[in-house]
Amino acid sequence: MVRGRAAAPEIRRFALPQTTAGINRRQIDATLNIIDTEDALRYMPSLMLRKRYNGDTQATLQTRTWGIASSARSLVYVDDALISALISNNTTTGAPRWGMVAPEQIERIDMLYGPFAAEYPGNSMGGVVLITTRMPDHFTATIKQTGSVQTYGDYRTHGSYGTSNSAVTLGNRIGRLSWLFSANREETLSEPLYYVLDSTFPTATTGGIRALSKTGTAANVMGAGALLHSTMNNVTLRMAYDVTRWLGLNYTIGFWDNQTRARSQTYLTTASGTPTFGGVAGFANDTYSFNEDHLMNAVSLKTNTQGHWDGEAVFTDYDYLKDIQRNPAGVLGGTTFTRNGYIARMDGSGWRTGDLKGIWRPAGPTGAHELSFGGHLDRYHLENPTYNTGNWAASSDAGNGTLHSAGRGTTTTYALWAQDVWKFLPGWTLTLGGRVEFWGASNGFNSAGSVATSQPTAHSTNGSPKATLAWRINPGWTTKLSFGEAWRYPTVSELYQIVSTGGTYAVPNANLKPERVFSGEAMIERRLTNGSLRLSLFQENTRDALISQSTLLNSIYTTTFQNVNAVRNRGVEFVAERHDLLIRGLDLSNSVTYVDSRILSDPGFRSSAGTSANGKHVPYVPKWRDTLQATWHATQRLDLSAALRYQGKMYSTLDNTDSVSHVFGAFDTFLVVDVHVHWHVAGPLTLDAGIDNINNARYFEYHPFPMRTYVGDLKAAF
């Protein structure tokens, strides 16, 4: 049985100088209540997974230096194919496409911290997630049924909300060809994702709850919104063909389908006790349907000579085949909606990426130098019209053919990079690299009401030097100093997407500038026979930081985007792991992260109350995080785990005026405890059971987050 912490990342052909953390398939099985792929990242150092319910299609990552609204400040790859949705930088359309890999396909996951490898673009400032899948060398099959039930209670919404996930994988190797097929169907009922707010109470009604917004203004709760019933289907096929002994061809195709219906629940009643919406428009905003069909193709060709030369080519294509959201325009008497409404579409959007990479080892694999180099191309395209319709629930997908709003545009990036790994003395390694990028935004167009605007083009050319000096003092001690400059370019959605449907409203800014990052880290690590200790000091200074703001306007939170002159995130991360602690089979790990985040300069910001942002904390970056995990490998067939997750206060406004906690829109401190049991029953059967948030913590990270949730699954693996 494989026990203990994940080994260091597998030896990769392109040397990666970053600090790393990892988890393998055995650890995922033994320690996690896993339903969706992203669950595997839950306990990794300094990460927080923004997952609001099982089956969430908008699960984003909070990294060491950036928050949950920074989806474009981290990268997620599956077998070197990008699944990050860099079409956006938000908590909706910007979430990685986790459905393109199934939990049963994962072999291991590695997290790389910081923008210190020239191979990756500036979006790596928060970190890079590398998911490595398994490919079979003989016939394999798994059948898995997973279920979860959440017991939720807040305001006047109480109930049990469940998830059912049915998954199957089939794979084999026949001669030079190996393949792995995965199919997954997940049906979910969620807790309310929004609450319907109003600054006053509708006349002649009762049942509304007096409350405040996160900034202390009146935001009375009229009811709950966006109680979702969603059904997702994911199908992926991965194939690998050994063209020769040293040349391999890989192909992946993934199809994802999502059907979601969101309903609202009113707390209001008339004098006679009849439920009513009281004329509050928020009930219409939080009632909608969502139909999505997405398709991804990825192909790669890689050599594996381990001689003087190696190379690879990776190409991806991601298409929004169908992406349609419908919601009513308003409410009528009682609990009815207007017949007219809006239809927002993103079909036609998508992206393509291409990477060519090479390695030259002048003196062979054991030589003093290893030079890697490559070229990159990406193109992200947005098509996002919102149509007026006379029948929001049943009209054609183009409504009545007239536009309510529209946003479209394209961003393109070309890049060249090179990196040399020089082992200049025993135990000493110097990694020097650089990246030059040519970015452009074009074909931007926006319309809202009767106003239509063709947006100006934008261009930027930038270079990014990188350097890491590592010293392996002896087999037990390693220290490392890293520096990296990075440029993160505005996404096409930040520039051009107008969101005016459902519970989300966003206003784009076509004049955004790229953000420039200077990142550094000093790390020292001690490896012991039964564990390890690591201390990392890090600092990241960002100029023209692209920061979104969520402001309560007319009882609806509306998001805007802007450049902030200068921000600084600096802190310390301590990670400790110990195996066979006190008794054989007991493993303990703890990661603690402290970040001092500051806005150094933002002269362009001035709130309506006259407050300044200078010296305030950077939005969405918490000061403290702590993850403690204990696992007892009781027998060869039984693993018992418990984990504690803590996160301190963070702000979501530039002037840090959101001081009211435990209300919709707030970002709360939380402490959550999870437990998990993994039991190999007999033969091919394994049983997993656990409870997430066993202490039933009630907290908001803008949305209300899950309360106590019971999880169980039964798997047969052949």
Predicted pLDDT of residue 97 = 95
Structure tokens given for 444 = 């931007």
Asked if 171 contacts 139 with a C-beta cutoff of 8 angstroms, the reply is: yes
pLDDT (average), residues 11-38: 87
* pTM greater than 0.85 (yes/no): yes
Query: Sorting pLDDT into bands at 50, 70 and 90, what band is 10?
Result: very low
- Can you give the C-alpha Rg of the chain in angstroms? 25
Q: Within 10 Å of residue 154's Cβ, how many Cβ atoms?
A: 17
**Cβ atoms of 114 and 18 closer than 8 Å:** yes
The amino acid that residue 447 corresponds to is: S
pLDDT tens for residues 309-332?
999 999 999 999 999 999 999 999
pLDDT attached to residue 501:
62
How does pLDDT run across 97-109, given as a tens digit for each residue?
A: 999 999 999 999 9
SS3 label, residue 44: coil
Residue range 237-264: mean pLDDT, rounded: 96
CATH number of the 19-717 domain: 2.40.170.20
pLDDT tens digits for range 657-706: 999 999 999 999 999 999 999 999 999 999 999 999 999 999 999 999 99
The answer, yes or no, to whether residue 644 has pLDDT greater than 80, is: yes
pLDDT of residue 409: 96
- DSSP characters over 535-601: EEEEEEEEEEEEEEEEEEETTEEEEEEEEEEEEEEEEEEEEEEESS-SSTTEEEEEEEEEEEEEEEE
Mean pLDDT of 40-68: 94
The pLDDT value recorded for residue 14 is: 67
Q: Specify the pLDDT at position 8.
A: 40
Quote the mean pLDDT of the chain.
Answer: 93
Q: Let me know if 603 is exposed, middle or buried by CB neighbors in 10 A (0-12, 13-18, 19+).
A: exposed
Q: Encode pLDDT of 279-303 as tens digits.
A: 999 999 999 999 999 999 999 999 9
pLDDT value of position 4: 39
Residue 413 pLDDT more than 80? Answer: yes
Q: Which amino acid is at 8?
A: A
Q: Is the pLDDT of residue 581 over 80?
A: yes
Write down how long the chain is. Answer: 718
Residue 229 and residue 261 in contact, taking contact as beta carbons nearer than 8 Å: yes
**pLDDT surpasses 60 at 202:** yes
Range of lowest pLDDT (168-172, 280-284, 554-558): 554-558
Reported as a pLDDT band with limits 50, 70 and 90, residue 30 is very high
Structural domain spans, the chain: 19-717
DSSP state of 457: P
